[in-house]
Amino acid sequence: MRYSIYFILIIITFLASLSAYFQKNVPSYLRLFPAFLLLTIVVELAVDWLSSHGTPSTTLYNFFGVVEFLFYMYVLREIIYSKKVKMIIFYAAWVYASLGVTNVLFIQKIASFNSITYALGCLLISTLCIYFFFELFQITSSVKLTQLPAFWICTGLLFYYTCSFPLWSLANFLRKMPVIITRNIEIILLLLNVFLYSSFTIAFLCRIRVRNSTS
């Protein structure tokens, strides 16, 4: 299995996400997360199978990448308060999906990694995360961030996509780089995934209240 640490992280996050079905008053986006993570696991297994049979997996990643960004846009739309921004996200999602399909079919096409689609997705997600934090800082009442799933999710997304943006955007040129540079980039991406899925895991578990036992 490629990147076994990465795959194990997704499994752990998926198992943690199932806790959303055993808690009360759980937001709808948290209840949909397990299905998305399960899809991620299936995609990674499919990519591993294709790689073991010498078949390129770029096409699968291109289409899944569009689905991934659309899901995160949905999550951010759910946790952002402004109705105006919610509407903007709604239309932006349709535009992004259209551009993603157009890029796959006519511009960068299926065979190569769609760096344009990825770069645009990074920009959208990062911008929306920043706006979420802007809204969060405007709240006058006291908010315990450590028990706020949206805080952890946005923290993970913002850190991952701002840092991975320059790396994945140049993915089509990485094959021409020396092996040592490519391996270092893979390590950086692995560390970014560790932070991302760790943040997701905390987001699912932070609402669980642990009762103190009395003697």
Of 153, 201, 167, 146, nearest to 8 by C-alpha is 201
User: Residue 1 in contact with residue 7, Cβ under 8 Å?
Assistant: yes
Establish if 27 belongs to a structural domain: yes
Please state, in angstroms and rounded to a whole number, the distance separating the CA atoms of residues 131 and 87: 14
Establish if 212 belongs to a structural domain: no
pLDDT, position 185: 83
The pLDDT tens digits of the residues spanning 59-69 come to 899 999 999 99
Q: Which amino acid is at 25?
A: N
Establish if 120 belongs to a structural domain: yes
The pLDDT tens digits of the residues spanning 3-21 come to 588 899 999 999 999 999 9
Establish if 215 belongs to a structural domain: no
pLDDT, position 17: 96
Establish if 62 belongs to a structural domain: yes
**Residue 210 pLDDT greater than 60, yes or no:** no
Secondary structure letter of residue 24 according to DSSP: S
Establish if 10 belongs to a structural domain: yes
User: Residue 112 in contact with residue 58, Cβ under 8 Å?
Assistant: yes
**Residue 98 pLDDT greater than 70, yes or no:** yes
**Residue 182 pLDDT greater than 80, yes or no:** no
Q: Which of 11-20, 25-34, 68-77, 180-189 has the lowest mean pLDDT?
A: 180-189
Please tell me whether residue 178 adopts helix, strand or coil conformation. coil
What percentage of residues in the chain have a pLDDT greater than 90? 65
Q: How confident is the model at residue 213 (pLDDT cuts 50, 70, 90)?
A: very low
CB atoms within 10 A of CB 75: 24
36: its two tokens: 């998305």
pLDDT, position 174: 62
pLDDT, position 211: 47
Q: How many domains does the chain have?
A: 1
Domain residues for 107?
A: 4-205
Establish if 100 belongs to a structural domain: yes
What percentage of residues in the chain have a pLDDT greater than 70? 91
Establish if 86 belongs to a structural domain: yes
204: its two tokens: 């699912």
Please tell me whether residue 128 adopts helix, strand or coil conformation. helix
Please state, in angstroms and rounded to a whole number, the distance separating the CA atoms of residues 99 and 154: 24
Q: Where are the extended beta strands (E) located within the chain?
A: none
pLDDT, position 207: 84
Q: Which of 8-12, 63-67, 195-199, 210-214 has the lowest mean pLDDT?
A: 210-214
Say whether pTM exceeds 0.75: yes
Q: How confident is the model at residue 127 (pLDDT cuts 50, 70, 90)?
A: very high
pLDDT, position 212: 43
Q: How confident is the model at residue 215 (pLDDT cuts 50, 70, 90)?
A: very low
